Amino acid sequence: MLKTGKKNIRQLSLNELEAYFETLGEKKFRSKQVYEWLWQKHAHSFEAMTNLSKDLRTKLSDNFSLPALTVDATQYSADGTIKSRFKTFDNHLVEGVLIPTDERKTVCVSSQIGCSLSCKFCATGYMDRKRNLEFDEIYDQVVLVNQQSERVYDKKLTNIVFMGMGEPLLNYKNVLKAIERITSPDGLGMSPRRITVSTAGVAKMIKQLGDDQVKFKLALSLHAANDQKRHEIMPINDTNNIKALIEALNHFYKTTGNEITFEYILFRDFNDSLQDADELIRIYRQVPADLINIIEYNPIENAAFVKPTEDTIQQFMNHLERHRVNARLRRSRGKDIDAACGQLANKDTQV
């Protein structure tokens, strides 16, 4: 419900829309027309619904609100990455990133305005959490970046990763509802297999994903392979230790069979030794994980971490390979516009 007191029309299901139109004495098919405007034609005003009568558009406008994200600013990286800063109806800012390669066009979306987890290496973690994003606001990010991808690269989005601002599993209902709309034939019709939700590790909600039989992939931001080190950089480890996470991930895999990935940022002289690699391998062996993404550290203002030398990174990767671990080194994209992993913080942006 917005401050106007009007209900957001996108919070209504198709059945609820049908019931509303019945009260107006309107034919049932009108609800499908409106639903199509909302979820497939991406109308951002009732006035845009041109196959409805003026009188009906006025009634909708009098009874409902239609808040939508708008693009507040855009930045273009030398490597083709595009960062967008979106503005919500209540003037909060949140960022999303289009990451293009020859094979795929991926959008990294946010799930919260700010974050409450305070991970020491992440710029968003130094911001306060203002509120959760509603499911339609998450949906709008995907729509707007898809339009951007078509405009700039002449290609639709192929993949979605929930790796932007916020912890998706602390906005569980809205994230799942957004994915339902994104994957629904009367929404964007994308395959859930092309969606990855990344979590800092909320064991209870990882198990819930399994119980809810979700179809998308899961990524765990591990970043340290023992509890002592993980606690230092990720306070969430206090209540969600590695043992609990291993148990939750195994439950998730047992109930869904969906792909699991570990994310592991390398920090110089902290988690980049061969001993650290051995501890990471031990965790990898306890979970049916498909892949470990080894990620370059991207510097942020508030943190004193440093990226390891190329030699150290290579030794770490070689050690994983020798032990037959499926690992991939993920080079950062969009560093020059603060769009890389861990850098999203709503900084002043040039349009």
Tokens 């558009």 belong to which residue? Answer: 57
Query: pLDDT-derived band of residue 351, with 50, 70 and 90 as boundaries?
Result: very low
Distance CA 126, CA 123 (A): 6
Residue 349 in this model has a pLDDT that exceeds 60: no
- Please report the pLDDT score of residue 298 as a whole number: 81
Angle between helices 29-39 and 14-23 (to 10 degrees): 130
Which helix or strand (DSSP H or E) is residue 205 part of?
helix 203-211
- Please report the pLDDT score of residue 350 as a whole number: 40
pLDDT top residue among 142 and 79: 142
In the predicted model, what is the mean pLDDT of residues 260-266?
97
pLDDT top residue among 349 and 295: 295
CB-based contact 66:45 (threshold 8 Å): yes
What tens digit of pLDDT does each residue of 179-199 get? 999 999 999 999 999 999 999
pTM above 0.85, yes or no: yes
Helix (H, G, I), strand (E, B) or coil at 231: helix
Helix (H, G, I), strand (E, B) or coil at 283: helix
167-171, 247-251, 316-320, 339-343, range with the lowest pLDDT: 339-343
* Closest to 296 (Cα-Cα) out of 121, 102, 80, 79: 121
Q: Which of these is catalytic: 108, 119, 122, 341?
A: 341
In the predicted model, what is the mean pLDDT of residues 22-43?
94
Chain-centroid distance of CA 242 in Å reads 23
Tally Cβ neighbours within 10 Å of residue 308: 20
Give CA angle at 279 (274, 284), nearest 5°.
115
Helix (H, G, I), strand (E, B) or coil at 198: strand
In the predicted model, what is the mean pLDDT of residues 65-71?
95
How far apart, in Å, are the Cα atoms of 2 and each of 7, 35, 38, 325? 7, 20, 18, 50
Instruction: Dump the DSSP string for 26-54.
Output: --THHHHHHHHHHHTS--SSGGG-TTS-H
Query: pLDDT-derived band of residue 345, with 50, 70 and 90 as boundaries?
Result: low
Q: Which of these is catalytic: 18, 95, 137, 167?
A: 95
- Let me know if 115 is a catalytic residue: no
In the predicted model, what is the mean pLDDT of residues 225-236?
96
Q: pLDDT > 70: what percent of the chain?
A: 94
Q: What are 7's strand-pairing partners? A: 64
Mean pLDDT of the chain: 92
What tens digit of pLDDT does each residue of 309-338 get? 999 999 999 999 999 999 999 887 767 666
In the predicted model, what is the mean pLDDT of residues 43-64?
95
In the predicted model, what is the mean pLDDT of residues 127-154?
96
Residue 135 in this model has a pLDDT that exceeds 60: yes
Q: What are 71's strand-pairing partners? A: 86
